[in-house]
Amino acid sequence: MRILITGGAGFIGSRLSKHLLERGSEVLVIDNLNDYYDPAIKENNIKTLSHFDTFKFFKGDIRSVQDMDMIFSTHKIEMVIHLAAQAGVRPSIQDPKLYYDVNVMGTLNILETMRKYGCRKMVFGSSSSVYGNNKTTPFSEKHPVDNPISPYAATKKSGELLCYNYHHLYNFDIFCLRFFSVYGPGQRPEMAIAKFTDAIFNDKDIPMYGDGSSERDYTYVDDIVQGIMASMKKLRGYDIFNLGESSTISLKNLIHLIEKNCGKDAHINKLPMQAGDVSITYADISKAKEKLSYHPTTDIQTGVANYVKWYRETILQINSEINIKIKHVK
């Protein structure tokens, strides 16, 4: 199968690409390699995939009609895994226009290009942020999601609505997957587990917003990839699924867990809760289990241990080599 992955140079996209390539799929990736975080990380992700004969990378923007036309006109795309997005809840409050431009107009451009070239299958990467401060837990796909508390969340809800619209009007098969706090080796450096691990090893302060009682349903990246691949196999009609671990951990307990694995104490900087933050995310995954045979296997204790081990073997090793080179030059 020939698959286009938007945002495929990112954390989830590159992991998914590797799994698909290893299983014989032809994978095309479009990514603009923006500077939301160090573009070198994404460039390295692409480099690790470049040895596959069935892999192609296009540096481009999902908002560009020309970029999308170029890919679809020269390759018969059979399915789109749409993961490209302007990420981050708090930054979306500072620049909501950018988030709407990328996440809403970019999604619309992809759907229109698909319609133009006769591709009618998509898996859309949505977010648990659409639930806002839902008072009923765990969060079910049946719950109303009409009260987003950040522009990012509103754009993800808008993306789901656009997907339904194209299913209704043009008979697209689209599954929207609501990801819950994805983490693991190679994750984005500004995300909590990566940020906290780096801070502990480098004796920096960890910002703790609120009293540490807020809870998150952290989901290991390999479980998310398994859920996406299951969605691809079952893709028919329109539906929405939660992909989470269906287990929560408080912020203060997460910090303690990372401390334990790092073998060092954290320096905590207590700060007030931030606008756009939710008090809890907690996935009801019964629907995904039933309809997709989705079964996450990595609990937070194992996942954090895996991440810290990866950090020691890669990031600390790279930093050590850089410091040795600097000393040698001096």
Residue 188: which of 177, 176, 197, 175 has the closest Cα?
A: 197
Q: How many Å apart are CA 178 and CA 245, to the nearest integer?
A: 12
Is 170 one of the catalytic residues? no
Residue 81: which of 110, 51, 56 has the closest Cα?
A: 110
Query: Which member of 152, 166, 220, 282 is catalytic?
Result: 152
| Long-range contacts of the stretch 143-149 (C-beta < 8 A, 24+) | 149/276, 149/278
Helix residue ranges per DSSP H, 235-299: 251-262, 286-292
- Backbone conformation region of residue 18, classed left if phi is above 0, alpha if psi is from -120 to 50, else beta: alpha
DSSP 8-state code for residue 321:
H
312: Cβ–Cβ under 8 A, 6 or more apart, which residues?
A: none
Euclidean distance between the first and the last CA atom of the chain, given in angstroms as a whole number: 53
Contact yes or no for 176/124 (Cβ under 8 A):
yes
201: Cβ–Cβ under 8 A, 6 or more apart, which residues?
A: 262, 264, 311, 316
Q: How many Å apart are CA 204 and CA 315, to the nearest integer?
A: 16
257: Cβ–Cβ under 8 A, 6 or more apart, which residues?
A: 249, 300, 301, 304
196: Cβ–Cβ under 8 A, 6 or more apart, which residues?
A: 206, 254, 255, 258, 266
- Catalytic positions, written as ranges: 152
